[in-house]
Structure 1
Amino acid sequence: MRKAPLTEGRFWHRGAELVYDDAGEGPLAVYAHGGFVSQAAEGRMGLFDWAPVLDAGVRLVRNDARAHGRSTGEAVDSDFTYPSLAGDLLGLLDHLGSADPIDAMGASMGCGSVLHAAVQAPDRFFRLVLLIPPTAWTTREAYARANRESADTIEREGADAWLAAKRKQPRPAVVADVPPFEPTPAEHVLPSILRGLARSDLPSPTEIAALHQRALILAWVDDPGHPLSTAETLAHLLPHADLHVSRTRADMRTWGERIAAYLTRPQP
């Protein structure tokens, strides 16, 4: 692969400076990462391979979410709900001057952001790629309760106590060899992020079923934080959805090629 030149961009939105990476040439696709990481952290973890997407002739813009990585943000719980993060994503599209519908991709928290953005402004999106959809609907309350408890732990004992407890939790086999990461948000913001996510859920099944975009859903197994039930329900609700489930790390390494093929496949 010839490495695509990468440009860093910045813009102000709702009191924060939001930073993104812009690489490649062609139709625009944006990507939103998961909670507590950043574009650089995901790169160090080796989770997703974007080289095939860039090689396929796509302009790929990946942002650091509010208070994550290089982006700034304050300790305000409501800033970190999925609908609020979706507003940041729509602000990015405004900044990029996107006039035509674009492809949007998101993993975990980013998946929630993308779906809410699509519900808020459906005509701005062409196709969706939803990676490791998070807990939703009936599985969300246990996750929300754990997040609220984690926020209390950080405020009472510090982030190290929270991280120590997280490291004791079993990891899905498909990512067992992925290096652990330190959260990129500052410690004083972590409780607000956790509480904002605890207040979040995916759009309602009725709202999702009303979306017209085609979607590719990529999921893995044995992860309570990203249960297969969410991916399967999304595949059932969305009118034009393809679902692929990985059970091994080797199969997960095909996701970049699958995304590239999907984004360049002629649409009916």
Structure 2
Amino acid sequence: MTEQFNINQFNCSISGKGQALVWAHGLCGCMQSEDAIGVYAWHRFPKKLQLIRYDAIGHGLSTAGESVDDYLWPSLAKDMLRVAAHYQAPTPMILGGQSMGSATSLYAALANPQSIQGLILMTPPIAWQARANQVNYYYKIAKAARILGGKGLAQMNAKHLDKMLPRWLIDAHKHSVLGMLDGLKSMKCQTLSQLFTAAAQNDLPSKQQLASIRVPTLILAWQDDDAHPIETAIELEKALPNAKLHIANSMDDVDDWPELISDFCLALQQ
């Protein structure tokens, strides 16, 4: 059976021309929440490169998925490659994303290695045995989401931002950091329940699978974030044959990330 793909399901943003970076946001985020937090500085991304961003299924202004399977990382990887194909992104292209978006990028690279020239993995999510220890937590959030919905979860998370982001980043972005919850507020109970049920089932590829991804890879991690521990980033650097890891210990370090991303993409430009 031929799988159907409707680009109208996805809210997308395309700018620039040339070598393409296809970028995916994190769980319960969206393009709007990325722009609100003030870390990414996409407005400074080189115009001689093409930047393709989109709201993942069930997030932001994209339509909701039909089942838990739609939110599994290999499924999100298919969406990423289909969005890129629809906009005729020049290949080989660079894939990247934050947290869930970095997991999406890894699965996309495994699914279609010949079309990938590089990877950018920002704050990769907790993985492997450490993630297995969190499964019950994700199921609890899925249950709570059926009751609270997006607005309720956003209100709860607003009181515990230090469990989602490093304290030093929150302090540096006091006036904008709550904007990261904007995408969550509009999410429906069913979508959130399916998302966190999928989170309980998701995991990064095995280290044996990762060893087959030989393209240049930039890994960006930060300290003091239990959901995105530096241990995951360190293990990814070891498992990926051509990876370089940058660990941020302060806001000054994170402020360098947009330039690191741009320089990485420019270096791969054909």
TM-score with structure 2 setting the length? 0.87
Matches within 5 A, 1:120-159: 120-159=111-150
Give the secondary-structure state (helix, strand or coil) at the position aligned to 2:9: strand
Aligned partner (choices 214, 225, 228) of residue 223 of structure 1: 225
Alignment of 1:80 with 2:59, yes or no, is: no
Q: Following the alignment from structure 2 to structure 1, what is the Cα–Cα distance between the partners of residues 266 and 148? A: 49
What SS is found at the alignment partner of 1:222? coil
- Between Structure 1 and Structure 2, the one with more strand by share is 1
Q: Is the 8 A contact 1:102 1:126 kept in 2?
A: yes
Which residue of 2 is the match for residue 208 of structure 1?
A: 210
Residue 13 of structure 1: how far off its partner (Å): 2.2
Q: Which amino acid aligns with 2:9?
A: E
Q: Secondary structure at the match of 1:42?
A: helix
Mark the runs of 5 or more structure 2 residues left unpaired by the alignment.
none
CA gap of 1:97–1:163, structure 2 versus 1, over 3 A, is closer
> What CA distance in whole angstroms lies between the structure 2 residues aligned with 1:40 and 1:61?
14
Cα distance in 2 for partners of 1:266, 1:151 equals: 40
Secondary structure at 1:219's aligned position in 2? strand
Where in structure 2 are the equivalents of 1:34-45 lying within 5 Å?
A: 34-45=26-37
SS where residue 83 of structure 2 aligns?
A: helix
User: Normalising by structure 1, what TM-score?
Assistant: 0.88
Give RMSD over aligned pairs.
2.0
* Match for residue 173 of structure 1 among 143, 167, 173: 167
Aligned to 1:20: 12
How much has 1:126 moved relative to structure 2?
0.2
- Going from structure 1 to structure 2, the CA distance change for 1:161 and 1:44 (only over 3 Å counts) comes to closer
Which one-letter code corresponds to 1:129 in the other structure?
A: I
| Count of matched residue pairs | 255
Moved over 4 A (4+): 157-161
Tell me, yes or no, if structure 1 residue 47 matches structure 2 residue 53.
no
Range that drifts further, 65-74 or 185-194: 185-194
Distance 1:166 1:24, change over 3 A: same
CA distance in structure 2 between the partners assigned to 1:239 and 1:179 by the alignment: 35
Aligned identity (percent) is 29
Per the alignment, residue 9 of structure 1 pairs with none
Mark the CA change 1:50 to 1:93 in structure 2 (over 3 Å): closer, same or farther.
same
Question: Could you tell me how far 1:51 is from its partner in structure 2?
Answer: 3.2
Structure 1 residues 69 and 162, CA gap change in structure 2 (3 angstroms): closer
SS of structure 1 residue aligned to 2:101: helix
1:161 Cα deviation from its structure 2 partner = 4.8
CA distance change for structure 1 residues 159 and 102 in 2, over 3 Å: closer, same or farther?
Answer: closer
